[in-house]
Amino acid sequence: MNAIERYFGINGTNTTIKTEVMAGVTTFLTMAYIIFVNPNVLSEAGMDKGAVFVATCLAAAVGCFIMGAFAKLPVALAPGMGLNAFFTYGVVLGMGYTWQTALGAVFLSGCIFILLSLFKIRELIINAIPLTLKLSIVAGIGAFLGFIALQSAGIIVGRDATLVMLGDMKSYAPAMGALGFFIIAALAYKKVPGAVTIGILLIAAISLITGHTEFGGIVSLPPSIAPTIMQLDVAGAFDVGMIAVIFAFLFVDLFDTTGSLIGITSKAGLMDKQGNIPNMGKALLADSTATVAGSLLGTSSTTSYIESVSGVASGGRTGLMAITVGVMFLLSLFFAPLAGMIPAYATAGAIFYVAVLMMSSLRDIHWDDLTEAAPAAVVLLFTPLTYSVADGIALGFITYTVLKALAGKFSEISPAVWVLSIVLLSKFIFLS
């Protein structure tokens, strides 16, 4: 015990081993929904659901262990929401690439992230991208997630004349999808730990009781990971059309991780007065390494979870909290039958809830300046309507550059934005 306390510096952070472990359990409960949602989302890309379940748990555990032991921060990791939807609906179903090639793109984005972390040029990248585009991309992915959730629950359905329309809300799946969202939102408002997981399991239980889902057991040995492990196609990811995809994976993971680290460490009182985060470089390296490991195992990008704040609120202050979360994910490997009984409409409410949280970033956009508002609106609308995060980002960059240039605000266009806009515009002209 003394060795553990010394390694994590527990005595100097006003916490105890028991507190750290309980904080880890609390954090796991708030993010356990990913072990139900991720297999459902990636299976639609043609991936084996059982293998993805195992890959999700293992990738999360690897990320948590590296973060806890190496960076020693109370930050938990797992495959990210939004990134998994982009993987399936944007890259595979939208652009027509195989899931193996999409995994290759995740691998390359993780490798680039590692290089950015090692050479400490993260700040240069972050500062080069306008705040408006950062905020609108997060919101655009949120809108995309929301659209996907509504589709998977049958709340939004296809229609020839208008492309989409409201589904039959009297039907079981749409009603349960809506009920799931209401339960999760209400519990989250009441700050109930594990609100998302509780909502998913409640809908699944109702579905089981009413006979809409067959009981398949609770505990078993983990499924085989053979269908997804080391199946990535890195060579295929070097296709010219994948440039924007790799950039999207990298960009979203980079800013999501940075934002989460700032929020978590600030809440934990670990950030100093100058805004510096302890072991920031190691934390970014842990995140990027977990993404590479996840792509090898067979899942989309792994990222830091803002849900770690729930553990911090419970007293977590050190990496022991993250390691506890990792252990919980390993134990989850034996609950594959439970994950297999979760229908798509049970996770739809959770996905829509995450979408709502992501779209809240719109509040910080300067809507009174059209050169800021228009690019944000383009990203927000085009991301779900083109069914492509990559196209939404690309059109947002182009719109930002064109409007700023026409308005004579050349000083607000960084060299990096100029280059990216020209490259992305060329892609639309010559490769579409």
Residue 12 has pLDDT above 80, yes or no: no
Rounded to 10 degrees, what is the CA torsion of 411, 415, 420, 423?
Answer: 110
What's the predicted TM-score (pTM) here? 0.78
* Dihedral (Cα; 170, 173, 178, 183), 10-degree rounding: 120
pLDDT band for position 347 (50/70/90)? confident
Quickly state the pLDDT bin for 374 (edges 50, 70, 90).
very high
pLDDT-above-70 percentage for the chain: 97
For residue 412, which of 371, 378, 362 has the smallest C-alpha distance? 371
**What is the structure's pLDDT at 149?**
85
Per-residue model confidence (pLDDT) at position 402? 95
Measured N-to-C along each axis, helices 99-118 and 280-297 cross at an angle, to the nearest 10 degrees, of 160
Contact residues for 296 (Cβ-Cβ < 8 A; gap 6+): 107, 229, 230, 232
Q: Between residues 191 and 120, which one has the greater pLDDT? A: 191
Residue 261 confidence (pLDDT): 82
What is the pLDDT at residue 200?
Answer: 87
Mean pLDDT of the chain: 87
The tens digit of pLDDT for each residue in 21-36 reads: 988 888 888 788 899 8
Instruction: Assign 108 a pLDDT band (cuts: 50, 70, 90).
Output: very high
Q: What is the mean pLDDT of residues 306-333?
A: 89
**pLDDT given for residue 274 in this prediction:** 64
3-class state of residue 159 by DSSP: strand
Q: Let me know: does 342 contact 196? Beta carbons within 8 Å.
A: no
Residues 100-129, mean pLDDT to the nearest whole number: 85
Q: What is the pLDDT of residue 354?
A: 81
**Contacts of 343 by beta carbon, 8 Å cutoff, 6+ apart:** 173, 203, 204, 207, 212, 213
Phi-psi region of 269 (alpha: psi -120 to 50; beta: other; left: phi over 0): left
Mean pLDDT of 119-133: 74
Q: Where are the beta strands (DSSP E) in 269-410?
A: 302-304
Residue type, 72: K
Residue 183 pLDDT > 70:
yes
pLDDT of residue 126: 64
Yes or no: say if 180 and 161 are a contact pair by the CB < 8 Å rule: no
Q: Which of 338, 304, 340 is nearest to 322 (CA)?
A: 304
Nearest to 135 by CA among 303, 373, 305, 376: 376
Mean pLDDT, residues 354-376 taken together: 89
Task: State mean pLDDT over 114-143.
Answer: 79
pLDDT tens track for 48-90: 999 999 999 999 999 999 999 999 999 999 998 878 988 998 8
